[in-house]
Amino acid sequence: MGQEISQSQFDQDDFEHFHKKLAIETQLLHQLFEQKALSNTELIAGLELEAWLVNENMRPAPINEHYLKSLNNPLASAELAKFNIELNTNPIPLSDTIFSQLHKQLQSTWQHAAKHAERYDSALLMIGTLPTLKPSDLNVSNMSDLNRYRALNEQILSARDGPVHLDITGDEHLKLDHQDIMLESATTSLQLHTKVPLDIAHHFYNASLIASSAIVAISANSPYLFGKNLWHESRIPLFEQAVEIGGYNGAAHGPVKRVSFGTDYARKSIMECFQENLDHFPVLLPVDLANASDSFDYLRLHNGTIWRWNRPLVGFEQDGTAHIRIEHRTPAAGPSIIDIVANSAFYFGLAKNLCDHIIEHGLPLQFTQARDNFYQAARHGLNSHVTWFDGNHHRLHHLLTTELIPRAISGLESCGISTTDSQLYMDIIRHRAETKQTGSEWQRQFMQQAQPDNFADLTRQYLINQHQNKPVSEWTIN
């Protein structure tokens, strides 16, 4: 959930000071947009993978502090809960053999990190929601020891003026109240980053919004939460409800939410998202970061407390030039490294193709329809019906095989991706769409044949399959 801060207690002056600095930096960023002074160089891609530490009983192992210290890898960091970590890749130009490079890099990092977990009689697991997780695991004593998380917990609960209410209806119904933000740590994801040229940043953002329904369905891996069979991608309603606070004062419980699909396309510039951040979202972490400047410390910290499923970010080139990145947050973690790379290739290819389509033809879908498609896909997976560019309803798994996978292949080709890379990873996506066996579907099939509520066996077999690094579409039920 972002960078560490120096304090966790604040008073009203801190909030007013931060907001003034945030307003200055938002105006500075606007000036850079007006001057076209942000980077306009090639597409660069990278990813972040969140994972679980589990013990021999497949239960959460809250050991990330000691684990990360002894792992000593700059690409690994703590997450909200002591039983979660994050692994990163180095950014690579979106061209040529990027996906085989990402595969090699992530596989090496993962194998080393997984082997290191064995020193603690634990295992490393990549999955959207942990089937063995219990509400009692999500308590503040299991919160990572960082000021950022303590402050977020205090400020979010203060803004809510009461407990977190969780109410998710899927195949079963889950309803409970929780006293802190630790519910968010039950969601682990794959986050895909694209550094985009300024000229196309808002088009790429809009393309990512439209692509989200297909991405969230094909990568679904989160059917179970606290023993309940919910959505194909239960992370989506879980995260939105775990941090369900909105705008200022009377709008705190209004339609503008800190975790959401967003409120609209970026119509003229991606700057619209950063302006919305200033205008509609109260400051949560009012740290004193010295003077407002074109390093955008205030703006970036504030932006890090607003979790759109597609989130624009400000970063910097090696020469100090500011750039825009689009962070795509819809895919679940897992099921395997090869699946993760395939999901990445599908997203980057589809987003690039849709971006080119938007530039040439304009927006092909109403924002409200793109948003409805996303939630339908998160709930019903590949069997969902979505409305597409022709205005008709399509079964998503059929749309994938007939149009979206070919679009992704075309997008990869336009980036100069090698035919070998494109064919390998798109064949994995195609086979998954044809068999309709996502991570979520495999978990549900396993539980239909398992002892009732035996989520430990499910998790153990899932972990065994994950070590084999075969695509989930090839997993069997033993």
Residue 322 contacts residue 39 (beta carbons within 8 Å): yes
Q: Is residue 75 included in any domain, yes or no?
A: yes
Q: Is the peptide bond before 163 cis (omega within 30 degrees of 0)?
A: no
Which backbone phi and psi does 294 adopt, to 5 degrees? -80, 10
Q: In the chain, what percentage of residues exceed pLDDT 90? A: 88
Is the pLDDT at 335 greater than 70? The verdict is yes
Residue 80 buriedness (CB in 10 A; 0-12 / 13-18 / 19+): buried
Is the pLDDT at 42 greater than 90? The verdict is yes
CA distances (Å), origin 336, targets 24, 221, 245, 290, 467 = 44, 11, 33, 43, 8
- What pLDDT was estimated at residue 253? 57
Residue 28 contacts residue 292 (beta carbons within 8 Å): yes
1 — pLDDT class (breaks 50, 70, 90):
very low
Q: Which of 388, 404, 424 is nearest to 349 (CA)?
A: 404
Q: How many CB atoms are closer than 10 A to CB 414?
A: 13
- What pLDDT was estimated at residue 194? 98
The domain tally of the chain equals 1
- What pLDDT was estimated at residue 119? 97
3-state helix, strand, coil in the chain (%, to 5): 50, 15, 35
Q: In the chain, what percentage of residues exceed pLDDT 70? A: 96
What does the angle CA 114 – CA 477 – CA 225 come to, to the nearest 5 degrees? 65
Is the pLDDT at 181 greater than 50? The verdict is yes
pLDDT in tens, 292-327: 899 999 999 999 999 999 999 999 999 999 999 999
Residue 428 contacts residue 340 (beta carbons within 8 Å): no
Q: Is residue 340 included in any domain, yes or no?
A: yes
d(CA 166, CA 377): 20
* Mean pLDDT, range 323-343, rounded to an integer: 98
What is the CATH number for 91?
3.30.590.20
Q: Is residue 7 included in any domain, yes or no?
A: no
pLDDT in tens, 89-111: 999 999 999 999 999 999 999 99
* Mean pLDDT, range 435-462, rounded to an integer: 95
d(CA 478, CA 457): 11
161 — pLDDT class (breaks 50, 70, 90):
confident
pLDDT in tens, 222-268: 999 999 999 999 999 999 999 877 666 545 556 678 999 999 999 99
Q: Is residue 1 included in any domain, yes or no?
A: no
Average pLDDT score over the chain: 94
- What pLDDT was estimated at residue 287? 92
185 — pLDDT class (breaks 50, 70, 90):
very high
Is the pLDDT at 127 greater than 60? The verdict is yes
> Which residue would you say has higher pLDDT here, 255 or 426?
426
159 — pLDDT class (breaks 50, 70, 90):
confident
- pTM over the 0.85 mark: yes
- What pLDDT was estimated at residue 452? 83
- What pLDDT was estimated at residue 117? 98
Q: Is residue 4 included in any domain, yes or no?
A: no
Tokens at 381, concatenated: 């997976």
Q: Is residue 360 included in any domain, yes or no?
A: yes
- What pLDDT was estimated at residue 451? 83
- What pLDDT was estimated at residue 246? 64
- What pLDDT was estimated at residue 320? 94
- What pLDDT was estimated at residue 283? 94
- What pLDDT was estimated at residue 6? 63
Q: Provide the residue range defining the domain that includes 321.
A: 12-474
Tokens at 368, concatenated: 């409200």
